[in-house]
């Protein structure tokens, strides 16, 4: 056993109940997002390194320590995408999508890759479902984006969430904030961690995101963005908060002035939904406004806001609401009728019915297998049934058995399938 190749650390195989759970989360999420006018987009899972390296922030952990970068056979530097926003922004610019639609509302779903230390809820390949809304600078849009996230959690019946929200102001506010922070941290630099001392040179705001124990007290007393926020930025944020408070439970909305998020492209609104029962990795959905990203990538100035949701993380607290369609098992009285059983299975599937064909063993073995596979019914037949065209249909939970024509069986099973999908 020991020399069987194992999956890469921080990755996992998705199958069985967990597979169904994640697909169900995606299905329900898509339903909600379509109500908000979002349309799907898929971008490649690998990109030119430059899509991310500069645009996510050169001093962020993601760019510094977590990207899977490699050179292809042509010598080009590529990377597995660590997130979706920069990829979607690239696609929007490549296809001039903004000129065709404003606002442009896109959602995506797929694997992302970060070389992080694996633990419960944190993986090296994880799945994100994200939305991006581009073209409008309006607090209504920020609020609508956040409400879409909230409605999605509600649709998934997740109740123990809280929203942490902050503003990062506009470019001018951040410049002032940066100067203020630089002065403050310079005064405490000897007590900062080595990593934060490095950040002080390049990007002092990143120190606020430090997880190092020795930095925490200094961070706690650091100046706040609210000290420098312009009136316009403040009233933008107040408007976002007002709308959220009228549409969501205000007791679950916390303004967290320390929230900076792990990516540098944010301005104004930044937020995270946390699910309290999840433990250390409890941020299930995070995002914010990023008005500078598309111009930084060589495009026009396009205001934008969005979020990403960790599907695998969310799945840890999601209880499946829907039962899978239970199959019907086709069971011939003996092996010589197997070909006919096969034909019946094809016929029923053609009518949209889920069918399990039990391929081997005597009748009682096949019935046991059907029960193990969670079949709802067994359709049983022998030579006599074929002659009379009346088949035995056994309801496996109750043991109730009836004799029916094939047309009636199809009608009955189709009615059941429609009910269980409602």
Q: Which residues bind ligand HAM (CB under 6 A)?
A: 83-85, 114, 116, 122-123, 126, 128, 130, 132, 262-263, 283-288, 290, 306-308, 310, 312-313
Q: In angstroms, how far apart are the furthest CA atoms of the chain? A: 95
Q: Which residue is nearest to ligand HAM (CB)?
A: 310
Residues 338, 179: Cα–Cα separation, whole Å: 79
Closest CA to 290 of 304, 272, 301: 304
**Minimum CB–partner distance for residue 214 and ligand HAM (Å):** 25
Separation between Cα atoms, residue 289 and residue 287, nearest integer Å: 7
In the complex, what is the shortest distance from the CB of residue 130 to ligand HAM, in angstroms, rounded to a whole number?
A: 5
CB of 264 to ligand HAM, least distance (A): 11
Q: Is the peptide bond before 235 cis (omega within 30 degrees of 0)?
A: no
> Apex CA 329: angle with CA 390 and CA 347, to 5°?
65
| Nearer to ligand HAM among residue 109 and residue 381 (C-beta) | 109
CA-to-CA dists, residue 129 to 30, 217, 262, 281, 286, angstroms: 9, 35, 17, 17, 11
Nearer to ligand HAM, 88 or 380 (CB): 88
Question: Which is closer to ligand HAM, CB of 146 or CB of 337?
Answer: 146
CB of 289 to ligand HAM, least distance (A): 8
Cα distance between residue 386 and residue 339, in whole Å: 13
Torsion sign over Cα 294, 82, 273, 200: negative
Give 226: exposed, middle or buried? Use CB within 10 Å, 0-12, 13-18, 19+.
middle
Write down the residue that tokens 């997880």 correspond to. 211
Q: Which is nearer to ligand HAM, 87 or 233 (CB)?
A: 87
Q: Shortest distance, CB of residue 354 to ligand HAM, whole angstroms?
A: 32
Compute the distance between CA of residue 44 and CA of residue 68 in angstroms, rounded to an integer.
15
CB of 49 to ligand HAM, least distance (A): 17
Q: Decide whether 144 or 356 has the Cβ nearer to ligand HAM.
A: 144
DSSP string for residues in 133-154: EES---HHHHHHHHHHHHHHHH
Shortest Å distance, C-beta 223 to ligand HAM: 24
Would you say 114 or 268 has its CB closer to ligand HAM? 114
- Residue 275 CB, shortest distance to ligand HAM, in Å, is 9
* 150 vs 290, beta carbon nearer ligand HAM: 290
Question: How far from each other are the two terminal CA atoms of the chain, in whole angstroms?
Answer: 45
Nearer to ligand HAM, 177 or 307 (CB): 307
- Could you tell me which residues come within 8 angstroms of residue 178 by beta carbon, excluding any fewer than 6 positions away? 203, 204, 205
CA distance linking residue 236 with residue 267, whole number of Å? 12
52 vs 381, beta carbon nearer ligand HAM: 52
3-class DSSP assignment, residue 234: helix
CA–CA dist 317, 88 (Å, integer): 28
Query: Rounded to the nearest whole angstrom, what is the least distance from the CB of residue 414 to ligand HAM in the complex?
Result: 40
């Amino acid at each position: 056993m020991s020399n069987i190749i194992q999956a890469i650390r921080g990755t996992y195989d998705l199958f069985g109940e967990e597979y169904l759970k994640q697909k169900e989360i995606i299905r329900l999420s898509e339903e909600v997002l379509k109500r908000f006018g979002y349309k799907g987009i898929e971008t490649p899972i690998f990109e030119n390194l430059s899509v991310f390296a500069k645009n996510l922030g050169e001093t962020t952990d993601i760019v510094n320590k977590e990207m899977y970068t490699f050179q292809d056979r042509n010598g080009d530097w590529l990377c597995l995408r660590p997130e979706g926003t920069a990829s979607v922004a690239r696609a929007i610019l490549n296809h001039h999508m903004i000129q065709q639609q404003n606002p442009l509302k896109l959602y995506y779903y797929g694997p992302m890759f970060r070389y992080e230390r694996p633990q419960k809820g944190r993986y090296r390949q994880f799945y994100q479902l994200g939305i991006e809304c581009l073209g409008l600078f309006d607090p209504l849009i920020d609020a609508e984006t956040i409400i879409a996230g909230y409605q999605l959690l509600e649709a998934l019946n997740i109740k123990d969430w809280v929203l942490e929200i902050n503003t990062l102001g506009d470019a001018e506010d951040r410049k002032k904030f940066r100067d203020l922070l630089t002065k403050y941290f310079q005064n405490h630099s000897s007590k900062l961690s080595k990593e934060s001392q490095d950040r002080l040179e390049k990007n002092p705001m990143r120190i606020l995101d430090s997880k190092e124990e020795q930095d925490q007290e200094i961070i706690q007393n650091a100046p706040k963005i609210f000290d420098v926020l312009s009136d316009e930025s403040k009233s933008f944020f107040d408007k976002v908060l007002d709308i959220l408070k009228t549409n969501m439970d205000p007791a679950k909305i916390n303004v967290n002035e320390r929230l900076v998020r792990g990516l540098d492209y944010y301005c104004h609104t930044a937020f995270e939904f946390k699910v309290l029962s999840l433990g250390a990795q409890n941020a299930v959905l995070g995002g914010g406004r990023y008005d500078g990203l598309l111009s930084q990538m060589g495009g026009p100035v396009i205001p934008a806001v969005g979020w990403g949701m960790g599907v695998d993380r969310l799945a840890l607290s999601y209880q499946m609401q829907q039962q899978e369609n239970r199959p019907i098992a086709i069971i011939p009285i003996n092996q010589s009728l197997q070909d006919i059983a096969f034909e019946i299975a094809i016929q029923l599937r053609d009518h949209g019915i889920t069918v399990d064909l039990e391929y081997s063993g005597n009748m009682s073995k096949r019935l046991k297998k059907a029960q193990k596979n969670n079949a709802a019914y067994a359709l049983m037949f022998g030579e006599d049934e074929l002659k009379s065209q009346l088949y035995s249909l056994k309801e496996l939970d109750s043991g109730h058995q009836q004799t029916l024509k094939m047309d009636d069986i199809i009608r009955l099973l189709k009615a059941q399938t429609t009910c269980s999908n409602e």
